[in-house]
């Protein structure tokens, strides 16, 4: 019999993360354009670096190479970093092509 904690939130971090250095403009329904610096990405989310004027649960639309425009919602924010979950999981073939495109445009620091 299990006596462990019953978690209300399912941990979704089973997807591999890839370090990137990608700056783009995200669109927010009320705030308009927000400069967004993505530092890692997975098939179901991404992490940004830099302050974001958003509260947990708020949504924005980001433009990613290969994938195009995709909506994401803020899951957590701490110390100038934010974690976003994508509205859908990116298919493997698109994800690989996207990471390749992001790696090609990344700074030498991010490629290490």
Separation between Cα atoms, residue 55 and residue 67, nearest integer Å: 25
**Whole-model pTM above 0.75?**
yes
Q: Residue 28's beta-bridge partner residues?
A: 32, 60
Question: What domain range is 63 assigned to?
Answer: 18-111
**Domain annotation covers residue 70:** yes
Contact 85, 72 (CB under 8 A): yes
| CATH (domain of 70) | 2.40.10.220
Please state the domain count of the chain.
1
From first to last of its 112 residues, the chain has per-residue pLDDT tens of 445 444 344 445 567 889 999 999 999 999 999 999 999 999 999 999 998 999 999 999 999 999 999 999 999 999 999 999 999 999 999 999 999 998 876 555 544 4
In a domain, 104, yes or no: yes
8 in any annotated domain = no
């Amino acid at each position: 019999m299990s006596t462990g904690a019953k978690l209300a939130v399912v941990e979704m971090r089973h997807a591999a993360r890839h370090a990137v250095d990608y700056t783009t403009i995200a669109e927010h329904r009320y705030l308009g354009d927000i400069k967004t610096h993505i530092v890692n990405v997975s098939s179901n989310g991404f992490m940004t670096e830099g302050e974001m004027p958003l509260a947990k649960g708020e949504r924005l639309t980001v433009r990613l190479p290969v994938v195009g425009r995709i909506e994401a919602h803020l899951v957590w924010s701490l110390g100038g970093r934010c974690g976003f979950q994508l509205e859908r999981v990116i298919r493997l073939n698109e994800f690989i092509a996207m990471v390749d495109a992001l790696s090609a445009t990344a700074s030498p620091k991010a490629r290490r």
